Amino acid sequence: MNKISKFIIALAAVFTLATGAFAQQADDPEVIFKKNTVFHLLSPDAKLATYVIDDPAVSGVACYFTVPEQGGWTGWAGFAEQRSETSIACRQVGPVKISAKFGQGDNIYEQRRSFFFKTMHIVRGCDAKRNVLVYLAYTDKLIDGSPQNSTSTVPLMPWGNDAAPKCGDFLTP
């Protein structure tokens, strides 16, 4: 094999790994919309992307979050380190039913924000005194995490004839 063939095979392998690392999974969030923030003439634009996820252990609660997506060819290929800013808003969207016990700060969702070491997390907690679910979105990094975060709360309320569960009853010690 000549050098050009080896280079093309190596490039294809790197591209396959990069796209596989960021491939959509069944539990990926649903895209609501994306808005361009930076125009690039010959490569994909940078965007703000708004998604929704349902809390996997609490039916009747949905969390909407917005994250920046880097544009350019490195962003498109999955090599750009994504920014840490995240906003989140969680709401009761139906009768709340908590299906499992959980600990304070348990992960309900995570998304890779760089090829190797950066991950955005959404975690859940409970303010038992006020019967409120508390959601926190933040980004960590192996060496140097970010203090940027966003918090949202969902006061548990009755829905129709269904009484609201007490989140404190589902906390693990």
Query: Which whole number is the average pLDDT over 114-134?
Result: 88
Share of the chain above pLDDT 90, in %: 46
Q: What is the pTM of this model?
A: 0.72
Contact at 8 Å (CB) between 113 and 84?
A: yes
* Residue 53: DSSP 8-state: E
> Considering only 2-16, 129-143, 158-172, which range has the smallest mean pLDDT?
2-16
Domain membership of residue 133 (yes or no) is: yes
Question: How large is the average pLDDT for residues 56-76?
Answer: 81
Tokens of residue 70, six digits: 């880097």
- Asked whether residue 132 is assigned to any structural domain, the reply reads yes
Per-residue pLDDT of 144-173, as tens digits, reads: 666 778 999 999 999 999 999 999 999 998
147 assigned to some structural domain: yes
66 is a domain residue: yes
Find the mean pLDDT for residues 10-31: 52
The parent domain of residue 107 ranges over: 26-170
The C-alpha atoms of residue 23 and residue 18 are separated, in whole angstroms, by 9
pLDDT-based confidence at residue 75 (cuts at 50, 70, 90):
low
pLDDT at site 149: 86
pLDDT value of position 112: 73
**Residue 11: inside a domain:** no
AA letter at 25: Q
Q: Which of 152, 25, 165 is nearest to 102 (CA)?
A: 165
**Number of folded domains that form the chain:** 1
In a domain, 18, yes or no: no
In a domain? residue 12: no
* Better-predicted residue by pLDDT, 70 or 79: 70
- Per-residue pLDDT at 11: 47
What's the whole-number mean pLDDT along residues 53-69? 93
The answer to whether residue 6 sits within a structural domain is no
